Amino acid sequence: MAIAEYLKHMFSLEGKVVLFTGAAGGIGSELCRGLARAGAAVALCDVNKEQLEKLQAEIEKEEGKASSHVINVLDKDSVVSCVKEVGDRYGHIDVLVNCAGINKREGFMDVKEETYDRIMAINLKGAFIVTQEVAPYMKKQNKGSIINIGSHNTGWVLGGCSIYAATKSGLYAFTKAQSVEWAKYNIKSNCISPGHIQTPLTTVTWEHPERSKYLLDRIAMNRPGYPADIVGVCILLASDASDYITGCEYRVDGGCISGGQPWPYDTEF
Ligand X SMILES: NC(=O)c1ccc[n+]([C@@H]2O[C@H](COP(=O)([O-])OP(=O)(O)OC[C@H]3O[C@@H](n4cnc5c(N)ncnc54)[C@H](O)[C@@H]3O)[C@@H](O)[C@H]2O)c1
> Of all residues in this chain, which one has the CB nearest to ligand X in the complex?
25
Please give the residues from 140 up to 169 whose contact with ligand X meets the rule CB under 6 A.
149, 151
Among 122, 124, 187, 219, binds ligand X (CB under 6 A): 122
Residues near 228 by beta carbon (within 8 Å), at least 6 away in sequence: 30, 34
The answer to whether 71 contacts ligand X (rule: CB under 6 A) is yes
CA–CA gap between residue 10 and residue 239 (Å, rounded): 7
For residue 150, the minimal CB distance to ligand X (Å) is 7
The answer to whether 82 contacts ligand X (rule: CB under 6 A) is no
For residue 75, the minimal CB distance to ligand X (Å) is 8
The answer to whether 97 and 44 are in contact (CB under 8 A) is no
- Residue 246 to residues 4, 51, 136, 237, 243: CA-CA distances in angstroms? 26, 32, 18, 9, 8
CA–CA gap between residue 117 and residue 98 (Å, rounded): 18
The answer to whether 24 contacts ligand X (rule: CB under 6 A) is yes
Number of shown-chain residues binding ligand X (CB under 6 A): 27
The answer to whether 99 contacts ligand X (rule: CB under 6 A) is yes
The answer to whether 185 and 174 are in contact (CB under 8 A) is no
Would you call 43 helix, strand, or coil by DSSP? strand
199 or 246: CB nearest ligand X: 199
Query: Which range of residues in 9-17, 72-80, 179-187, 255-263 is near ligand X by CB under 6 A?
Result: 72-80
38 or 100: CB nearest ligand X: 100
For residue 42, the minimal CB distance to ligand X (Å) is 14
The contact pattern for ligand X, residues 32-61, with x = CB under 6 A and - = no contact, is: --------------xxx-------------
12 or 72: CB nearest ligand X: 72
The answer to whether 55 and 24 are in contact (CB under 8 A) is yes
For residue 11, the minimal CB distance to ligand X (Å) is 22
Query: Which range of residues in 9-17, 22-30, 209-217, 243-251 is near ligand X by CB under 6 A?
Result: 22-30
Question: CA geometry: angle at 242 spanning 241 and 245, to 5°?
Answer: 155
Alpha-carbon Rg for the chain in angstroms: 19
The answer to whether 196 contacts ligand X (rule: CB under 6 A) is yes
CA–CA gap between residue 47 and residue 72 (Å, rounded): 5
Which positions are catalytic? 164
Among 68, 189, 190, 202, binds ligand X (CB under 6 A): 202
CA–CA gap between residue 233 and residue 225 (Å, rounded): 14
The answer to whether 22 contacts ligand X (rule: CB under 6 A) is yes
Among 37, 58, 80, 102, binds ligand X (CB under 6 A): 102
Which residue stretches of the chain are H helix?
A: 3-11, 26-37, 49-61, 76-90, 113-119, 126-141, 162-182, 203-207, 209-217, 228-238
Binding residues for ligand X, rule: CB under 6 A, are 21-22, 24-28, 46-48, 71-74, 99-102, 122, 149, 151, 194, 196-197, 199, 201-202
